Structure 1
Amino acid sequence: MAWRKGLVGRGPLGPRHITRTSKRRLRLSHTISEERLQPGSAREQVCEAPALPPSLAQRLRHWQWRRNRVGQAGAAVYRLHKPAPNQQDLYLKQGRGEVAEALFDEAARLRWLGQALPTNQLLGFEWDGEEAWLLSAAVPGRSAYECLRQRPEQAAEIAQALGAFLARLHALPIEACAFNAQLPIRLAQARRRLEAGLVDAQDFDADRAGQTAEQVWLQLQALLPMQTELVLTHGDYSLDNILLDEAGEVSGVIDLGRLGVADRYQDLAIAWNCLQEFGSAAQQAFVSAYGIPSPDPHKIALHLCLDEFF
Structure 2
Amino acid sequence: MSIPVMPVVVPPRVRELARGAALECVWQNDLGGLTLRATPQYGEPFFIKWGPRHDESTMRDEAERMQWAGRWARVPQVLSHGEDATEEWLVTAALAGDSAVSPYWRERPETAVRAVGEALRAWHDALPVEECPWDWGVAARIDAAEQRGIRVPESLRTPPPVDQLVVAHADACCPNTLLDTDGRWLAHVDLGQMGTADRWADLAVAAMSTEWNYGPGWDDTLIAAYGIAPDPARQAYYRALWNAT
Separation of aligned partners in 1, 2:40 and 2:190: 24
Structure number with bigger Rg? 1
Q: TM-score, normalised by structure 1?
A: 0.67
Residue 161 of structure 2 corresponds to which residue in structure 1?
Answer: 227
Separation of aligned partners in 2, 1:306 and 1:83: 45
Residue 121 of structure 1 corresponds to which residue in structure 2?
Answer: 77
Query: 1:45 offset after TM fit, Å?
Result: 4.6
Output the aligned Cα RMSD: 2.9
Query: 1:136 offset after TM fit, Å?
Result: 1.0
- Asked if the contact 2:97–2:180 (Cα under 8 Å) also holds between the matched residues in 1, the reply is yes
1:300 aligned to 232, 235, 241, which one?
Answer: 235
Provide Cα deviations, 1:145-204, integer angstroms capped at 9, x if missing partner. 23542124xx1x4332222221111112111211111111012123333xx25xxxxxxx
Q: Does 1:265 align with 2:220?
A: no
Q: CA 1:248–1:138 in structure 2 vs 1: closer, same or farther (change >3 Å)?
A: same
Question: Which residues of structure 2 form unaligned runs of 5+?
Answer: none
Residue 31 of structure 2 corresponds to which residue in structure 1?
Answer: 73
Separation of aligned partners in 1, 2:200 and 2:91: 30
Identity fraction in percent: 29
Amino acid at match of 2:176: N
Q: CA 1:60–1:245 in structure 2 vs 1: closer, same or farther (change >3 Å)?
A: same
Which of the pair has the greater relative contact order for Cα pairs under 8 Å at 6+ separation?
A: 1
Query: 1:68 offset after TM fit, Å?
Result: 5.8
1:188 aligned to 131, 139, 143, which one?
Answer: 143
Structure 1 SS opposite 2:101 = helix
Q: Does 1:167 align with 2:101?
A: no
Structure 2 SS opposite 1:252 = strand
- Asked if the contact 1:100–1:131 (Cα under 8 Å) also holds between the matched residues in 2, the reply is no
Structure 2 SS opposite 1:139 = coil
Q: Does 1:82 align with 2:28?
A: no
Provide Cα deviations, 1:24-79, integer angstroms capped at 9, x if missing partner. xxxxx56xxxxx68xxxx454585x7247xxx95x743323445673262334433
Residue 151 of structure 1 corresponds to which residue in structure 2?
Answer: 108
What count of residue pairs does the alignment treat as equivalent? 240
Amino acid at match of 2:12: P
Question: Which residues of structure 1 form unaligned runs of 5+?
Answer: 1-28, 31-35, 198-213
Amino acid at match of 1:226: P
Separation of aligned partners in 2, 1:122 and 1:186: 26
